Each structure stands twice: as C-alpha cells, then as structure tokens.
Amino acid sequence: MRKHAKRGSAMVEFAVAVTGTMLLFSATIQLSLGMWNYHTLAYAVHETTRYASTHGKGCTALGYTCKITVGDITSKIKSLAVGIPDSSAIVTLTTQSGAVTTCNPLNTCYTSTTVWPPSSNSDNLVGNRITISAKYRYRSALLFFWPGSGTLQFGTIWLPASSTSAIVF
C-alpha cells in the first residue's frame, strides 16, 4: 500500500527542481547581458570622450584636417559599443558653456556634418571641458516577472553612461 502512495513523487520533485533551476539560469543570463551592455556602453562613451578631447581648436585652424563632426563622434560610439543597437541608444554631447547636441536615437546623427566641439562660445579651446553622455534602453525578460509591472511585456531599464574630459589640443 505504501509503495503505491509514493508513485509519481519523483516526477513532481523533478518538475519543481527544474522550474527553479531554469528560472535561476535565465536570471543569470539576463543579468550577465545587462552588465555586459552597461560596461560596453560605459567603455564606448569613455573612449569617445578621450577621442573628442584631442580634436579641439588646434584641429580647426587653417591647414589642419583633424576636426571632427557629430557624425564622427556617433560613428565612433557605435564602433566601440559592440552589441548595443543604435536604435535604442540616446547620446548627448555637452560643452562647457552648456551647448547641447542630442542624438535620439544614436543612428540619427551618423550623417551630421556639424563640427564638434563647436567654436561658438569658445567651447573648443584647450582646457575647456566636454561631456558625452549616453543611455541605452535595455529590455530584459527577467523584468517580465517584476511585481506590479501591469500588462505582461518585457521590462525596460535605462542604462546610463557619462564621461567628461578637458580638451587637450
């Protein structure tokens, strides 16, 4: 009689264990992807700020051809931000005087021929600070289970990155 009462309990225990294991596995993958995207975006923004800081007033003088444009900066970010879709990233370029150029989304500025940092307000002088900020809309299947999320859909988190540097040339 006791043998028949335990029939199927191994199947139930296996189903419960597999469900928890798969949830833990998928959570680990989603968190890893989110962290990879965050660090990739931060690296791309930092390296692009370093690149832009070496292209100030000295590059816009007569005879020099090292000036850069907003399109060059956004292309640099895209080339360094491997795996981040340019349609889900927003980039903001800010000068020391407060002049702001926004690319929302990133791919809208690839063809921009506006020289940056601009010479207006002497923003391209050596020693002036420039800031490049970006944020990426990360959609995670893990946030699907977030309490109070309302309708069932993939959750969204904005991953921010910002870097400031002084113009050196």
State percent of the chain over pLDDT 70: 89
pLDDT at 77: 97
pLDDT at 163: 98
Q: Are 52 and 68 in contact (CB under 8 A)?
A: yes
pLDDT at 67: 87
CB neighbourhood size of 35 (10 A): 11
pLDDT at 62: 72
Please tell me which residue, 149 or 34, carries the higher pLDDT value: 34
pLDDT at 23: 85
pLDDT at 106: 96
Helix (H) or strand (E) holding 128: none
Mean confidence (pLDDT) of the chain: 88
Sign of the Cα torsion 43, 125, 121, 62 reads negative
Residue 142: closest CA among 31, 11, 12, 9: 31
Whether pLDDT at 4 is above 70: no
Helix (H) or strand (E) holding 148: none
Longest dimension (CA), the chain: 97
3-state secondary structure (DSSP) of residue 107: helix
Phi, psi (5° rounding) for residue 15?
Answer: -65, -40
Q: pLDDT for 28-78, tens place per residue?
A: 998 899 999 999 999 999 999 999 999 888 887 777 778 899 999 999 999
3-state secondary structure (DSSP) of residue 94: strand
Beta bridge partners of 92: 102, 133
Whether pLDDT at 120 is above 60: yes
Whether pLDDT at 5 is above 80: no
Which alpha helices (DSSP H) does the chain contain, by range?
Answer: 2-5, 9-53, 57-60, 70-80
Most confident of 17-21, 45-49, 151-155: 45-49
pLDDT at 88: 93
Distance between CA 33 and CA 42 in Å, rounded? Answer: 14
